[in-house]
Amino acid sequence: MTKRGNVASRRASRGLAPLALWLALSALACSDRKEDDRKETEPEAGAGELNLRQVAAAAGKLLGTAVDADALRADPTYAEVLAREFDTITPENATKWGPLAPTEDSYAWEDADAIVEFAEEHSQAIKGHAFVWHRQAPSWLSSSMSADELRAALKSHIETTLARYKGRVRAWDVVNEAVDVTTESGYTASVFLDVLGPSYIEEAFRLARAADPDVLLFYNEVGIERMGAKSDFTYELMKELLDRGVPIDGIGLQSHVSTHRYPALSDLRANIRRFADLGLIVNISELDARTLLMPGDGDSRRRAQRIAFQQVVSACVSEPGCEGVTLWGFTDRYTWINDEGGEPDEPLIFDRDYRRKPAYRGVLDGLSGALPALGDNLVSNGDFAAGTEAWAAAGELSIRAAMDRSGAAACVSDQEAGLVQEGLLPALAQGGPFSFAAFVRVEAAGEATIDAELVVEDDTGETRTLSVATLTAQGQEWREIAGYVGLGFEPMPSGIALRIFGSSADAELCIADVRLQPLAP
Ligand code: G3I
């Protein structure tokens, strides 16, 4: 039985029977929706109320969090909430190569051991993170090492660490963030790439499998939640490695999102599905949701954050290939984002005093499989049934049958200026988040980048644009462009327009079925 089976069987032996939990969950989810609009935060879970760990068990999904070793050692409430709410643990830093091996001939196991022992005491699965990463690598690694020296160091590290935790740690991130499509090679600059070339990825997985035939081996990546160049490159890399028999069991879509703009459900589910279709176990591996990049007040940000968590978690629950979700921390008190400097953000589901935020309810709703509710279309004549009514374009604007799609399409000759709808302020003044989607078709053979944005004008006439969605479209096929945008306004603007435009100057752009809908829990 793979480690995966062990966790499932262990879960089944704990807590209420799934059906009872499911019924309780439905009641909880309904009661939640009423309460939540009134309260910013909730009192601590009372005795008998469901917690995330129980609800995840009912949903048949893993629900985990990254763990800060210092907080676990020093903060009893942190340890109490961690044990109660999560069934899976990823050491946030303690099992990275640098923290584990500060010098070439010594290991610092204390923090990692403490986290592994805590997880074992609380029947929690463990995912080690990460053998190979360009950040937090040991300071004694260098590009002046020969290939044999670096390979020997890597082999020793992987073998030593896997031997220490054999049978105790269920899975490992073997390689983290190896893809960087902004570089010429498409790979992230690192000492591993410098000295060994891209084959270091395959070598690391083969070393790990040779050292432990049972542990699950994951690749982990940032920014591949939405369809696009980076997730495409990563998909092709996984396919190529798997076709060569490289032992990769799963992939982590990190999902560090922001409430001002995050992947559309269709994108996220399509990505989960295509990696799962390769035979990979998919994890949402590092979910958190920044709020400060979204205009608006605290309440509108927390409401958008609830829906962001609900959407990502429900995408995983809706896809059989997604095994579970790990949050990158659970209380705003210890988030890594606040170590990056600047105004402190609130990206997690408990506030700094361990009170449950609306985002906690978002995770609960997501685990129940409830997708965010879509309201009425706020765009006028989004299907162009009334011709060009409510729309404007700098160049020619023509309405025609949408070729191989039902309904009508609006086609603009000057796609860089694009298609615009003014006068959206009354509809959007309520604040977001909003779901945007449309179908686009570029009348050109090559590739074009299509963007949708909101143009917000303030009372001085100054305008700023809020990016809503972007898509790289191949020529002459209909593609859906979609995205979620969080909005709040301080002060209230004087006007808002929607603009959909493309990047290739000399080609026509056709647009159909434009929707901009409010999202609700
Ligand atoms: O342990 C030292 C401490 O001794 C020293 O006094 C202190 C001040 O310099 O630094 C401490 O190390 C810090 C470490 O976190 C532990 O707190 C590092 O400076 C700091 O850079 C490190 O940040 C971590 C970051 O990865 C490193 O890039 C974050 O906590 C961690 O959440 C973050 O996690 C990564 C994932 O591993 C991969 N995906 C992206 C994610 C966010 O960057």
**pLDDT at residue 135 tops 80:** yes
Query: Averaged over 32-51, what is the pLDDT?
Result: 51
Q: How far apart are the first and last CA of the chain?
A: 38
Pocket flag, ligand 1, residue 135 (CB < 6 Å): yes
Q: Residue 40 — φ and ψ, nearest 5°? A: -70, -45
The predicted structure's pLDDT at residue 41 = 56
Our answer to whether residue 80 is catalytic in this structure is no
The predicted structure's pLDDT at residue 42 = 52
Our answer to whether residue 104 is catalytic in this structure is no
| CA-nearest residue, atom 23 of ligand 1 | 336
Query: Averaged over 145-159, what is the pLDDT?
Result: 97
Pocket flag, ligand 1, residue 286 (CB < 6 Å): yes
Pocket flag, ligand 1, residue 92 (CB < 6 Å): yes
Query: Averaged over 194-205, what is the pLDDT?
Result: 98
Give the CA-trace dihedral at 150, 155, 156, 162, to 10 degrees. 140
For a ligand 1 pocket test, name from 175, 253, 339 the mutation site with the most ligand atoms within 8 angstroms of its C-beta.
Answer: 339
Q: How confident is the model at residue 48 (pLDDT cuts 50, 70, 90)?
A: low
Q: What is the pLDDT of residues 467-515, one digit of tens each?
A: 889 998 776 788 899 988 887 777 788 999 999 999 877 788 999 999 9
**pLDDT at residue 12 tops 60:** no
Q: Give me the residue label for tokens 């022992």.
A: 117
Higher pLDDT, 444 or 126: 126
Ligand 1 centroid to 511 CA: how many Å?
45
Check 42, 85, 92, 177 and give the catalytic one: 177
The predicted structure's pLDDT at residue 25 = 52
Length in residues, the chain: 521
Q: How confident is the model at residue 297 (pLDDT cuts 50, 70, 90)?
A: confident
Ligand 1 centroid to 106 CA: how many Å?
20
The whole-chain average pLDDT of the chain stands at 89
271 is written with which tokens?
């990505």
**Euclidean distance between CA atoms 483 and 465, whole angstroms:** 15
Share of the chain above pLDDT 90, in %: 69
Q: How confident is the model at residue 351 (pLDDT cuts 50, 70, 90)?
A: very high
Pocket flag, ligand 1, residue 188 (CB < 6 Å): no
For a ligand 1 pocket test, name from 90, 132, 134, 136 the mutation site with the most ligand atoms within 8 angstroms of its C-beta.
Answer: 136
| CA-nearest residue, atom 28 of ligand 1 | 135
Pocket flag, ligand 1, residue 234 (CB < 6 Å): no
| CA-nearest residue, atom 13 of ligand 1 | 93
Which of 6-20, 307-321, 470-484 is modeled with the greatest confidence? Answer: 307-321
| CA-nearest residue, atom 40 of ligand 1 | 222
Higher pLDDT, 33 or 75: 75
Q: What is the pLDDT of residues 267-293, one digit of tens each?
A: 899 999 999 999 999 999 999 999 998
Q: What are the CA-CA distances from residue 409 to residues 234, 327, 380, 510, 513 (Å)?
A: 34, 41, 14, 6, 8
**pLDDT at residue 70 tops 90:** yes
Query: Averaged over 51-76, what is the pLDDT?
Result: 97
The predicted structure's pLDDT at residue 2 = 38
Pocket flag, ligand 1, residue 335 (CB < 6 Å): no
**pLDDT at residue 189 tops 90:** yes
Ligand 1 centroid to 176 CA: how many Å?
14
The predicted structure's pLDDT at residue 16 = 40
Closest C-alpha among 468, 473, 414 to residue 448: 473
| CA-nearest residue, atom 8 of ligand 1 | 339
Query: Averaged over 202-224, what is the pLDDT?
Result: 98
Q: What is the pLDDT of residues 81-123, one digit of tens each?
A: 999 999 999 999 999 999 999 999 899 999 999 999 999 999 9
Query: Averaged over 11-38, what is the pLDDT?
Result: 43
- Which are the contacts of 202, defined by CB distance < 8 A and separation ≥ 6? 241, 244, 246
Closest C-alpha among 106, 125, 101 to residue 115: 125
Pocket flag, ligand 1, residue 346 (CB < 6 Å): no
Check 203, 221, 225, 286 and give the catalytic one: 286
**pLDDT at residue 39 tops 90:** no
**Euclidean distance between CA atoms 75 and 131, whole angstroms:** 28
**pLDDT at residue 34 tops 70:** no
Q: Residue 94 — φ and ψ, nearest 5°? A: -65, -25
Query: Averaged over 181-192, what is the pLDDT?
Result: 96
DSSP state of 44: P
117 class by beta-carbon count within 10 Å (0-12 exposed, 13-18 middle, 19+ buried)? exposed
Q: What is the pLDDT of residues 393-419, one digit of tens each?
A: 988 999 998 877 788 999 999 888 899
**Euclidean distance between CA atoms 445 and 466, whole angstroms:** 29
